Structure 1
Amino acid sequence: MPDGTWLVVGLGNPGPTYAFHRHNVGHMVIDELARRADSPLAVARLMRAAVCQTRVGAGGIGGVGADAARVVLVKPRTFMNESGGPVAKLLAYHRAKPDHLIVLHDELDLDPGQLRIKFGGGDNGHNGLRSIRKSVGTGDYHRVRIGIGRPPGRQEPADYVLSNFRASQRVDLEIEIGRAADAVELLVREGLAAAQNRFNG
């Protein structure tokens, strides 16, 4: 079990208008992890985020015991392009290092149903990732990339990510949110290689 506190951040935009947008899948996964942990998110106003603290051990999230790693679940309450501020503040507050940061985000370059886990890399035009790099000072953190696919026809990517999932996609979306939550638990519990071997295939 890795030492130190893990910060798990789901990217999205705040408020009910954006709640079911493709850009908000990171928020959706945090909600699922908080549900599993039976630990509701609470607003930390000074941090500009909704957070909860839990642990991940051999029995999963919400577990107890000496082997359970401390985990802070985070939904920034800023807009996507300002996500870095809350992330940097929370890393400092919890004395967590960037290599113990996991960011969940939507990915245009992956088809719906695809999931990829990696450490480091570029921002690929994603405003949330760009903001985190600017505020934290590095891109060397874990990413769980959740595929949403490319927009159909000539629809602009910016309009596509700020649109709701179709009703016909909701069942598959729930499955993918569950898989992404599973990936976070495995990443914390067993490390990057184990999570990639299971989910990157």
Structure 2
Amino acid sequence: MYIIAGLGNPGTQYMGTRHNAGFSVIDALADQYNISVDTQKHKGMIGKGMIEGEKVILVKPMTYMNLSGECIREVMDYYKADIDDLIVIFDDISLEPGKLRLRAKGSAGGHNGIKSIIAQLGSDRFKRVKFGVGDKPKGWDLADWVLGKFPADLYDTLRDANQRACEAVACIMTEGITGAMNKFNG
């Protein structure tokens, strides 16, 4: 069983923001695989289903970004999941909008949601799908940038990136993280 968590902030005011890229990918996975993410449990919204013949739990933490690890830890504990079965999807300002980068493990790189997960799980050895949202313009506050919405001219790019992120998650499950990195990090 895989735990697939997309990071973001709850509330309609955050829909479509750069920081909610992980939520958008979870929504795309839910649509593609007909999984309802509608159960409030473990400080998040979860949905159970199947992707590529594997049982999955889709997770959207409702703790706000900086406390994402609280939800992830509760889900991991409840389902007695191994850290090897965790895939986390989140926004990355060091990547151009819509670009993906997969990683097997690593530091938080300044991302507070990932920092929280590492602190709660006591390990950085979980799979990641980083979703590019672009670097903040000079003079901008980082919080204002990541909590801002994408411009309309990027919607096609983002829709395509959401689809590629779904394919990347499925590839991690079927071919392993190394195979998926070879395919999607090029």
- TM-score where L is the length of structure 2: 0.97
1:126 is matched with which residue? Answer: 111
**Aligned counterparts of 1:138 and 1:176: Cα–Cα separation in 2:** 28
User: Aligned to 1:191, what secondary structure does the other structure show?
Assistant: helix
Computing the radius of gyration from Cα coordinates, the structure with the larger value is: 1
1:108 is matched with which residue? Answer: 93
For residues 146-200 of structure 1, what are the alpha-carbon distances to aligned partners after superposition, in whole Å with 9 as ceiling and x for unaligned?
A: 1111112311222100100001111111111111111001101111122111110
1:15 is matched with which residue? Answer: 11
2:49 is matched with which residue? Answer: 54
The total of aligned residue pairs comes to 186
User: Aligned to 1:78, what secondary structure does the other structure show?
Assistant: coil
* Contact preservation (8 Å) 2:105, 2:127: yes
1:197 is matched with which residue? Answer: 182
For residues 93-138 of structure 1, what are the alpha-carbon distances to aligned partners after superposition, in whole Å with 9 as ceiling and x for unaligned?
A: 1111111110000001111131110111100110100110111111
1:81 CA drift (Å): 0.6
2:73 equivalent among 75, 78, 88: 88
2:137 is matched with which residue? Answer: 152
* Contact preservation (8 Å) 1:52, 1:72: yes
One-letter amino acid matched to 2:44: A
**Aligned counterparts of 1:111 and 1:154: Cα–Cα separation in 2:** 18
* Percent of aligned pairs sharing the same letter: 37
* Contact preservation (8 Å) 1:56, 1:189: no
**Aligned counterparts of 1:86 and 1:153: Cα–Cα separation in 2:** 34
One-letter amino acid matched to 1:94: Y
User: Aligned to 1:158, what secondary structure does the other structure show?
Assistant: helix
1:9 CA drift (Å): 0.2
* Contact preservation (8 Å) 2:36, 2:48: no
Gaps of 5+ in 1: 58-67
1:33 aligns to 2:37 (yes or no):
no
- TM-score where L is the length of structure 1: 0.90
1:92 CA drift (Å): 1.0
**Aligned counterparts of 1:44 and 1:106: Cα–Cα separation in 2:** 23
1:56 CA drift (Å): 2.1
